[in-house]
């Protein structure tokens, strides 16, 4: 069983073995799924649980979604599906990487649905069920992303092929939107039109097109089943609009030392940051070994040469800028503007969470919410706030 703790924010410990902590609000996780289910309209909403539930933790996330009502789940690999199966005993688990020779037993033993993405994978599946075994599969159609999936014209040809294997009857057709985070992008409509043509050729089979951002594109994109991912975990799915999802993950790091430094002195590797005033610097026990990426640095990395500022964190309710370079285990923050004596060793600084949006930190690093969450390291002590009934 996954170790979990239930605390109010006020009672989280400030001491302990770990240098950093993650607080996961399972009530927010459940509410985010309900929000996406409502936005999915007549379609059912699934839940994507890839990469240890986007870094949140597979077991607590699966329980939260299952209790909220989810029954369709998506993972990347059969190993993830096998780990998920006992947590969602009557749920459908789709494996997005498909099926390959040698993995058949895992799919059968754990009742996993392979999402077949090529003629080779279809052949492997048909060989596996050649003895009359009944097992569901799904078909992935590429409608313009050039990633996994049969090309739409090949999927159409397969639908009308008189030599199509009699036992090949997918329970789901799916495709993936490339540009849904930009609602005005013409590629969205192009993919929709291609997918509609394939769906029409496979009459009576359920269809799924919308990821998190696709759900926000509206009912044209919903079909029978939506596949929200990043939105469930509090991430921003659509660019340039306020994020309606509740914050799920709060990442914090312990301050190990507060030090004084003079104007003209430098901070960190390569003396990349030079102080323009007498300063107080808080040294936090966090770094790129924990997924707090080097590109968040305040100075001395290529991204910063573009003129973008580095990241900030929040301490005692106020933003404080990162100064110098993020290193493997340590990062410096300028706390000069906080009242003298208000910052002490042992305090915890919020890296992202309710006061420092995940999206803002991702933008500062030159990446996306997904990478920050899935890159969280193993050294965080995790606290799970229970779903309130």
CA distances in angstroms from 120 to 98, 99, 100, 123, 224, listed in the order given: 10, 9, 8, 5, 27
Active site residue 202: no
CB 354 within 8 A of CB 214: no
Which stretches of the chain are assigned E, i.e. beta strand? 20-25, 44-45, 47-48, 72-75, 92-95, 112-116, 138-142, 150-151, 172-174, 206-208, 225-226, 249-261, 266-267, 273-274, 279-284, 312-315, 318-323, 331-334, 348-352, 380-385
Query: How far, in Å, CA of 199 to CA of 43, rounded?
Result: 15
Query: How far, in Å, CA of 233 to CA of 10, rounded?
Result: 22
Query: How far, in Å, CA of 301 to CA of 366, rounded?
Result: 12
Find the radius of gyration of the CA atoms of the chain. Answer: 24
- Say which of 3, 54, 262, 269 is annotated catalytic: 269
Q: Is 352 left (phi over 0), alpha (psi -120 to 50) or beta?
A: beta
> With the C-alpha atoms ordered 105, 106, 111, 115, is the resulting torsion angle positive or negative?
negative
Active site residue 370: no
- Say which of 50, 66, 221, 380 is annotated catalytic: 50
CB 298 within 8 A of CB 323: yes
Active-site residue numbers? 50, 269
């Amino acid at each position: 069983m996954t170790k979990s703790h239930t605390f109010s924010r006020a009672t989280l410990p400030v001491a302990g073995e770990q240098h950093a902590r993650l607080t996961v609000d399972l009530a927010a996780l459940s509410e985010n799924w309900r929000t996406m289910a409502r936005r999915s309209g007549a379609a059912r909403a699934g839940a994507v649980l890839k990469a240890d539930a986007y870094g949140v933790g597979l077991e607590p996330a699966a329980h939260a979604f299952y209790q909220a009502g989810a029954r369709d789940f998506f993972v990347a690999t059969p190993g993830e599906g096998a780990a998920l199966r006992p947590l969602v005993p009557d749920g459908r688990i789709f494996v997005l990487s498909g099926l390959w020779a040698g993995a058949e037993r895992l799919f059968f033993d754990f009742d996993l649905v392979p999402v077949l993405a090529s003629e080779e994978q279809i052949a492997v599946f048909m060989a596996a069920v050649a003895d009359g075994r009944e097992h569901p599969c799904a078909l992935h159609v590429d409608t313009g992303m050039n990633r996994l999936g049969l090309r739409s014209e090949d999927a159409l040809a397969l639908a009308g092929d008189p030599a199509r294997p009699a036992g090949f009857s997918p329970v789901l057709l799916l495709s993936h939107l490339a540009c849904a985070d930009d609602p005005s992008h013409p590629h969205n409509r192009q993919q929709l039109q291609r997918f509609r043509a394939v769906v029409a050729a496979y009459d009576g089979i359920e269809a799924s097109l919308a990821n998190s951002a696709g759900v926000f594109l509206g009912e044209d994109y919903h079909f029978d089943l939506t596949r929200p991912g990043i939105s469930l975990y509090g991430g921003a799915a659509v660019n340039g609009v306020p994020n309606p999802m509740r914050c799920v993950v709060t990442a914090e790091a312990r301050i190990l030392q507060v030090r004084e430094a003079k104007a003209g002195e430098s901070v960190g590797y390569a003396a990349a940051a030079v102080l323009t005033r007498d300063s107080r610097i808080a040294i936090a026990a966090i770094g790129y070994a924990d997924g707090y990426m080097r590109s968040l640095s305040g100075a001395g990395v290529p991204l910063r040469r573009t003129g973008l500022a580095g990241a900030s964190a929040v301490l005692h309710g106020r933003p404080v800028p990162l100064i110098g370079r993020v290193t493997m285990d340590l990062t410096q923050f300028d706390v000069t503007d906080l009242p003298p004596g208000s910052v002490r060793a042992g305090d915890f600084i919020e890296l992202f969470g309710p006061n420092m949006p995940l999206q803002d930190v991702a933008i500062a690093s030159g990446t996306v919410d997904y990478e920050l969450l899935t890159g969280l390291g193993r050294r965080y002590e995790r606290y799970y706030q229970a779903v309130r009934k």
